[in-house]
Every structure is written in C-alpha cells, then in structure tokens.
Structure 1
Amino acid sequence: MQTYDFVIVGSGSAGCVLAERLSASGRFSVLVLEAGGSDRRFYVQMPLGYGKTFYDPAVNWNYKTEPDPGLAGNVDHWPRGKVLGGSSSINAMVWIRGHPADYDAWRDQGNPGWGFEDLLPAFKAIEDNEAGASRLRGKGGPVHVTDCTKLVHPLTGRYLEAAGQAGLSLNPDFNGETQEGVGVYQISTRDGRRMSAARAFLRPAMKRKNVRVETNALATRIIFEGKRAVGIEYEQNGASQTVRAGREVILSAGSINSPQLLQLSGVGPANHLKNLGIDIVHANENIGRNLEDHVGINYTFEGREATLNQTLRPWWGKLLVGMQYLLLRTGPLSLSMNAGGGFFRTDPALPRPNMQLYFQAFSTVKTKAGERPILTPDNWPGFSIGLSNCRPTSRGEIMIRSNNPRDYPKIVANAYSTDEDVAEMLAAVKFVRKIAAQPAMADLIVREVMPGPSITSDEDLILDFRKRSGTVYHPVSTCRMGPDPATSVVDPRLKVHGLDGLRVIDASIFPDNISGNTNAPSIMTGWKGAELVLADHI
C-alpha cells in the first residue's frame, strides 16, 4: 500500500486549492483522487460551453432529486462536476464572495476565525482582480477575475436603468463596500477561457514531484484503524486499490459526495446505516442533513429589439461567434449567460439583501433535449430576469440508498418547505415585474412570455414558481461546521467530530448558505482549510 502524507478525495473548488497549498513547500506528499477525468475539453475551457456540459455524463454526475412537493412534485436536475476542477469546470463563473454578515454569522455560531475580516486575507490572496487591488480586492492571485462591464450585451444597460427606476442603486462591485444594488457580474475567466480551480491551482501543483493526481478513481470507503482514518479504498479501471495517508485523509468531494463517502464508511446516522448493513465506525445524525440550496426562477419577455437570440440561434450566427471565439477569444462564447444582476431586500426592514437577481440577454422557453439551451435560444427576440433566494430556511438531506458506492444517494431538497421561503419568493417575483414595468424596460417589451399576464393572483404566482423553480446549483451544509457534535459534523478546524486524521474541506461544511454564488466561498474554504492543516503539521 502506497503512503502519502495527505490523501485528498475530490479535485473540485476546494480540493484543487488544497493540493496546491499543501504541496507548495515540498515537505509533504499529496495524492488527489478524482472520480472524473481530464478538464482538457473544449466545452469545459470555453466559458459559454457549460451549456454543453450541463447534461454531459463525461464531466457531470447528473444527479436528480426526489420528487419535490415544494416544486409541484417535479424532479430537479442537479449537475455536479465529475472532472478535474469539479463544479468550477462546469459552472456559470459568477464571482461572488457573499455578504460579510454571512461569515460573521458563522463566527458567532461558535466558529472562531471564520468571520469576514478573518477570511478577507484569504479572499484577497486568491484573486487577481482585473479592477485592481484595494482594501477589499486582491491582485496577483491565482484566480483571474474579469470585469465584464464593457463586454456585456447593450440590453444589459436597459436592465440596469430599469432596476434603478425601481429603487435599486447601481453597484460597480458586489464584492466591494456593499452588496446591495444592481450591476454587471464579474466572472472567473482569463483571456476568454474559464478560470476553474483546476486551471488556477491544480495544474500548477501537478508539475511538482510531490503531487500525484489519479483520475477516474472513485473513492469507495475511508479506511479506519479504530477511530483514526488511515487511508482510502478506491476503484479505478475496474480494480480495487488502497492508499494510506500518513498524516490526514481530507474529503473535498462536495456537498453530495462527502457525506455519501462518510456514510458508506460507517460514519453517519446510525439506524440508517445499520439498516443498509453498514458497520458503524462513528454515529453522527448530522451527516447528510441540514442541506441548504438556493432556488431560482426566470421571468421571460419578448422584446422589440434584437437580443442574443438573433446572434446565437441561426447557423450563420453560430459560425460568426464561433470564429470570433476561436480567433480572438472574445464575444458571447467568452462570457457567462448571466450578464447583469444584483441583490435586493424583499422587506426594507431586513438588515441585508435576501434575494439575488440575474439578467440574461436571451431567452430559452423552448428547450432542446439533453442540452442546456444556451446555444439554441428562442427564434424571437427574448430576454430573462431571474432571481434566487439568498438564505432560505428550508432544509433537506442527502442519504445513501445502499452500501454500493456507485448507487447515487437519495437527494431530498425540500424546496419552499417553509412559509418564510414562499412569502419572500412571492414578494421577489412581484419585484421582478416592477423592474419590467419601469420606463427603461417597458417600451422594450412586447409581452411577458413566462409566466404570462394571466398569472396575477398570489395563489397563481406561488403555483407558478413552484412549477418552474429549480436549483441554482449551490447545495451546502451537509457536513456543517460547528463546535457542538450534537448539531454539526466538523469542528472549526474542519476536523470530523469524534474521529482522528480526517477532515472535510468543501462547501458541505458551510454552517449556513451564503448570499450569492458559492464557487468563490468554496475556493476560500480550500485556502483557509489548507492553512489549518499546515498549522497542525509544522
């Protein structure tokens, strides 16, 4: 059995950072096990290519939830990256840290060192922000953050003007002094290519002699000696392999796969595991529970002016933007579908925004099977205003179905399962219509296509967003951090309660979800986690 100082399960947003940081000094050997394959694929590297990877089993786990009563009984599609870079290789690249108060709330729940000012140095060290360095922004870090202000579709300006007329201020930087307001999203790209965690961290680390990365290596079980994790069992090319961790096993497999692997290894809710014939190594009822996710919906409009629909739908348009991208690395294919956006409060009495906005200068009412219809939009001028909740109160769970590592776990999302979540979404969709009704946008709109002008009563609006809402791909908290083993899975140093030699370092440790997209906070968690690990192995 080969031995490495650190064995990292998962090469996602956090795992890539860990591999780079833990190997940088040359003192420690690092093995990374990734269930997927290489990220050197055209549609992974091309930013708008995530429309092609949305259902692609070569790079995507393609999880499905259980039928959700909160979503009118619908089964929700949960894409998760199964590739070097994890979900950072197939996401929409919007670079949002979250509201500072989110992290202060983590700290105040008994997690010292996790307040915003504690984490700000990590965020700054990660960034190479095109807008330059400041007290809050970093320059020269591994992740290049692109300012898209001059690159987005001109229709974005109409959206920003209308949102201002509806009462929202213009915000040039959602990661700056304030989060509230509307503006153009910054994205994690560089020179027209996706800046995934693999590109920023793992690829440089792979050049070192003390780093080994195994792809197509599915971790099947954590190996324990008593209460200490000492290695990982994994399958690769049809054969079972084992590897030993001389110092620590680190799970960075994400909010679905980290709790799954713990449960398969006998760590989790005791009765559930016993019923599946799994011997208990350590009982903890929280593993897989406390699942939080952001849920969103789009309102779609037909416009009087050309949108990206007229560029991306016809064959000649595809040819044009394709040549533009291949030759110059510019144009629509070099960007995210989310051009503008913002944050607002559904109730002025709230201390911080509770809703996130997304503006898309195209529409996709008619979908194409097997593909997210970014590259095949509607044949009429259309655009969408989307939104998602920032801090939902609904909670779900992720539980293994069997003791077979290849069986997908049961995902119970429980979207809109609280009155609070329903009430704030109702207020939020009404505000979207308020934006659309402002002079800057009203003259542009021919009609509201989805849900349509016949949907007006509160009851109909609620039924509509139950039918049409879905995840915005930010599941967290299934191995949540906290000081009390009765309510959490890992301690503030990300060590699994009750066990030795084992940490979880990924978005599953978030005590609560953050206000915004989760990729930047996941990368930060990898950076912070590496600091904690290194401090214990000086």
Structure 2
Amino acid sequence: MRTLLLGAFGILSSNALQFYTSPQSLPRTAYDFVVIGGGAGGSTVAARLSQRPNVTVLLVEAGGSPEGILATEIPYLGVALQGSALDWNYTTTNQTGLLGRSMAYERGKVLGGSTILNLMTWNRGSDDTWDDIARKSTADDWAWPAIDPFYRQTSHLVPPADGRDVTGKEIPEAHGTGPVQVSVPGFPTEIDDKVLNASLTLGSPFEFNPDLNDGRTVGTGLLQSSIGGGERSSAYSAYLRPALNAQRPNLYVLVNTQATKLIQTGSNSVTPVFRAALLSQGPNSTTYRVNATKEIILSAGVIGTPALLQLSGIGGGNFLRSLQIEPLVELSDVGRGMQDHPLVPMYFHVNSNQTFDHVFGNVSVLAALEAQWNASHTGILTNSPGNTQGFMRIPANSSIFEKFGDPSSGTNAAHLELIFVYSFAPLGAIPPQMGSFLSVLAIVVSPLSRGSVHLKTTNPFDSPLINPNYLGHDFDAAAVIVAMRNAFKLVASSDFDGLIGDPLENFITANSSDDDLLTYARNVSGTVNHGCCTCSMSPNNAIWGVVNPDLRLKKVDGVRVVDASVFHKIPECHIQALVYTLAEKAVDFIDKQYFPA
C-alpha cells in the first residue's frame, strides 16, 4: 500500500507526486486557468489543459489525495468510503415524496471526486440523450455525431479481471482510446447468465443488448464499469495521476482547500468579469486570493457549483438579498431544477450459498479476499456490487403518457432501470443476520421531479439545502411502480426456476396493489447519486438557464462551468461517462477560444 508523507513547505508527497497543501505554499498567485474541483470534470480539464507547456493551471480540491487508501483502488470496497472522510457527508432536506424522510447524499471530497467512491457504472448515454442536449441548447456541437470523438477520448475497453472470453457480450468498436479503463465484471456470478437468458426468454421490455454503450441505452446486458485490471479507474488514476507523474511544472494541485467566493475583477462594457477566487481551509482560517488570466473553471459539482455562485452574488436577486448577499449578476436559475434518479431496493431470498452476503459479514473471509486482490487483482473484490443491468422503456401505449407525455430523450433512451446485486444491498436497511439474497434495484431514469440546491447560510463551510425532490412528481410515482413490476416479472422467468425462494418478510410481492408498491417505495427509496441540472445549459440568447452552449456563465466573462450541473435534464443512464465527455468537449471549446490553430 502506498504511504503518505507530509513534506516541508506545505507540499504533500506520495510516490514522488506533489500536492500543495495550503494556499500560502503556492509559488504564485496568478495562473492562466484556475480549476475549482478535482472530480471527473476538473481533473479532466486540468490534465488536458496542462498538456500545453506554456499554459499554467491551478487545480483546487477541497479534499485530499486518495493515494495510499486501498479502498479507493479495490472496486468492491468503494461502498465503504461513503460516509467517510472522503465524502462531503451531505444530507438532503426532508423529502415530501419519501414521507418526510431525509437521506445521506454522497459526494466525493477527494482528488477524483465522486469517481473515487461511486459504484463505477459506465454508460455513455444514448445517441438520443446527446441529440436532445443539442436540441435544447440549439447547438449542433452537442449532437451525437459531433460528440462521438470526445467520448472516445475518455476511455477504452479492457478485458475483465479474470480474462475470460466475453465475445458477444460487449462491442469493442463502440469504445475509444482514452485513459479511463472500462470492463465487464471480472468475477461472474451464477445469476449473470440467468438475467441475460431471461431477457432473451421474455423479450421486450427486457431484450438483450450486447453493449449498452453502443448508442441505444435500452435492453439488458453485462454491466460495464470503470475498472481495469481489477482496479478502480477514476478521474484521479486515469487523468490526474499521469499528469502529475509527467512532472509538468505548469500544473499546480492544491488540496484540502475550498474556494469560498468568486471575485469581480472588472467589466467589459456592461459585462462583469470574474477572474479571481478566494480560498480558505476552514471557517477560522486565513483567506487567500488567486487570479486567472484567462478563466476560472467551476467543476465543484451539482452541489458546490451553485453554492459557490450564490456566495459570489450570482443567482436570483431576491434569494440572495434574503441572505444579505449583494446581488451582482441576476441568474435566477442558479441552484434550480435539480434532478436525480430514485432507487427502490427489492429483496428476494435465494436458494444458494454463492451470493456475496458472506463477504462483509466475515472478517476472515474479507481479509482473504483482500489478500487475493493484493496478490493477483482477481476475485470478488474486482467487481462493482452489480454485474448486470437492464434499461427499459414503458410501452408506448401506456396511459401514463396520456397525462404526462414522454419525458425521455427518444426511443434509444430508457424510462426505467434494473440492477441485479447478488447479495443484500443495505441501502438504508439493516441486513438480516442470516440468509442469501438477490437485490434488484428498481430505478426511474427519466424522472420529472425537480428540486433545488440553495445556500442555508452565508458561511461557505455550511452545507447548503439539498432538495432532489425524490418521487415528487406523479409521473415518477407511476413509473416506479412499473419498474417494480418489471423486476417481479423478470425474476419469475423460468430461467430463475429453483433459485428464487420466499419473499423477504414484510416485503411486497408480485400480487401487491399499486398503492402498496408505492407506499413501499416511498418508505425505502434511496438514490443512485446522479445529481445534476442545478446550472443548466440553454441557448445563447435564452433568458432561462445558467450557462451558454459553450459552458460559459451567462452575463459574465471569465467563468465556465464543467460538471453535471449543466445538463438541462438528467440523462437516462448513469452519468459519470457523460461528465468526462462533457469535460473533453469543454477543453475543445477552450482551445478554440484561446489557442486557435
């Protein structure tokens, strides 16, 4: 295991990698680009921009380095990081659609951001998802044919950790040559083929899809994850660590430091210019200023980006005045429109001793598996918790669309998702002390519920008010019932004969009424942690939205946003691959503006 050593002069050193650990230790106060946030967006942008030797880049991350933390490398152990010091440990507001419950809201506070503690699912989004972004922003730059090369710059397909032949269960031509490593599960389970065979047996809406990253994110297939050689492939390991290993003298990485405010530095005609930021390491710490000669790039995420803008006087004027913040730029949509994917865990007893339930319940078993991983990067721990996933559309003749219309981006995009986990997935529930389980996670991936992120106080170190508004729209409530019934239908397939046992005690069944299913969902629903849309993209001249199609902040010069907050609606899939793609495209925008050929 790598170790961390605190060096002199405020530099954190690990295996020759160097990070500045305090603002006062930085050798300069001005950089061409100041990137705030070291997640998928920020790490990608900082790594790509610093490839230009004459361009100086400062990357500011509120957390530390993941170097030396074994759980950030072993895929299956990523769940143990949620709620740790590498997590912002946010909590949502009480959710009306969840009967007044609030819940933990995981976000990575570490170099690599949420790619360090997410469950690694890799979906690039359907062609329709990207074409819808282009339509909504009236910018052909975002349509799939134009985005395809930028997606291919993000990642490449690698063999699973066990090296088995997976011909026909992935399409290599659908993938690129970028730094993130992507693979199907490295440790197959006995239910993988059962799920895939059931999709063939049942057909629509479960039809088999050999590669969910081939343009149509509908169907059932092996789950692809950001895992290579049995190890998590994160924004840190894929983008940032190689840049640091290259010892680029123009890349400065500052950790354990939070941006607390953007500073207006002038104006161009009537447009205010913001090219400075204040940095601090805590509520009682000294504040330091850094300057960007070209741009500040906000990659602080769905929570951090709108909160920082509001702290800087950019947002809805009436709201800012209510907190005694002077409004400098009127952008009322800052913090509005938050969306996320609600998740309902469904539990089934199974007649098998081959589930993963024994792993975390037995210290000696877990130790042996860690030893195996250390020795060969093989075994159960090379997996994410789920091996298979299915995306489904609600039938076109469903009455649900008569009332609400179709919220999806098109027929290549889904409304619902099922993920199959061969163990009891706690997700807020206490695992039974004994037994073997199959958890099916039923998800609405095209929700209509909208929430918000707004400051609670003017203290930048206080958590904002986070309201994803789960199951707050009647469409979502109706759709989650369809998702749950789909789960019951699939596990009732003849392909599961002899495996599925009695339902979990006090659990809903296939014969439960719609009302009972919805009550269950409201009582147990969690989240897939795909928050987005709090700084949405809109056409250049639109009076709504927060950023223009080139991701520059509206009504402001000097600020660009590169994270999941810019989506105008939530993509109908897991979103980390889309954020990497967004960041690669952002670098192209920056290159064309500042470094034309």
Q: Shorter-chain TM-score: what band?
A: over 0.9
Q: What's the secondary structure of 2:58's corresponding residue?
A: strand
Opposite residue 118 of structure 1, the aligned amino acid is: A
Cα distance, 1:310 vs structure 2: 3.1
Deviates more, 1:237-246 or 1:247-256: 237-246
Task: Report the TM-score, using the length of structure 1 for normalisation.
Answer: 0.94
1:289 corresponds to which of 312, 319, 336: 336
1:236 corresponds to which of 274, 281, 287: 281
The answer to whether 1:23 aligns with 2:50 is yes
Q: What's the secondary structure of 2:107's corresponding residue?
A: coil
Offset from partner CA, 1:212-240 (integer Å, 9 cap, x none): 00001110000112410121101037321
The answer to whether 1:7 aligns with 2:63 is no
1:507 corresponds to which of 564, 567, 573: 564
Alpha carbons 1:223, 1:229 under 8 Å: kept: yes
Cα distance, 1:366 vs structure 2: 9.2
Unaligned runs of 5+ in 2: 1-27, 160-169, 267-271, 398-405
**Residue in 2 aligned with 1:77?**
104
**Residue in 2 aligned with 1:138?**
176
The answer to whether 1:93 aligns with 2:120 is yes
2:500 corresponds to which of 424, 427, 445: 445
Distance in 1, matches of 2:433 and 2:125, equals 33
Offset from partner CA, 1:365-411 (integer Å, 9 cap, x none): 5969xxxx8xx885211111112111111100000011110111001
Offset from partner CA, 1:81-111 (integer Å, 9 cap, x none): 0000000011001110111101101111123
Query: What percentage of residue pairs aligned between the two structures are identical?
Result: 31
The answer to whether 1:535 aligns with 2:535 is no
Equivalences for residues 103-502 of structure 1 within 5 A: 103-109=130-136, 110-130=138-158, 135-139=173-177, 141-148=178-185, 151-167=187-203, 168-206=206-244, 207-226=247-266, 227-236=272-281, 238-306=285-353, 307-349=355-397, 351=411, 352-364=413-425, 379-449=434-504, 451-453=507-509, 456-483=512-539, 484-502=541-559
Q: What's the secondary structure of 1:101's corresponding residue?
A: helix
Opposite residue 220 of structure 1, the aligned amino acid is: T
Unaligned runs of 5+ in 1: none
Classify 1:455/1:397 alpha carbon distance in 2 versus 1 (closer, same or farther; 3 Å).
farther
Distance in 1, matches of 2:511 and 2:546, equals 44
Q: What's the secondary structure of 2:153's corresponding residue?
A: helix
Cα distance, 1:346 vs structure 2: 2.1
Alpha carbons 1:165, 1:435 under 8 Å: kept: no
**Residue in 1 aligned with 2:3?**
none
Alpha carbons 1:8, 1:249 under 8 Å: kept: yes
Classify 1:311/1:497 alpha carbon distance in 2 versus 1 (closer, same or farther; 3 Å).
closer
Task: Report the TM-score, using the length of structure 2 for normalisation.
Answer: 0.85
Offset from partner CA, 1:40-98 (integer Å, 9 cap, x none): 11111211121211110x20001111100101111021100000000001100111011
Cα distance, 1:321 vs structure 2: 1.4
Alpha carbons 1:129, 1:144 under 8 Å: kept: yes
**Residue in 2 aligned with 1:62?**
89
Alpha carbons 1:302, 1:446 under 8 Å: kept: yes
Alpha carbons 2:41, 2:562 under 8 Å: kept: yes
Distance in 1, matches of 2:392 and 2:172, equals 25
Distance in 2, matches of 1:287 and 1:455, equals 44
Distance in 1, matches of 2:573 and 2:479, equals 16
Deviates more, 1:107-116 or 1:213-222: 107-116
Cα distance, 1:266 vs structure 2: 0.2
Cα distance, 1:364 vs structure 2: 3.7
**Residue in 1 aligned with 2:402?**
none
Q: What's the secondary structure of 1:290's corresponding residue?
A: strand
Opposite residue 288 of structure 2, the aligned amino acid is: Q
- How many residues are treated as equivalent by the alignment? 529
Q: CA RMSD in A?
A: 1.9
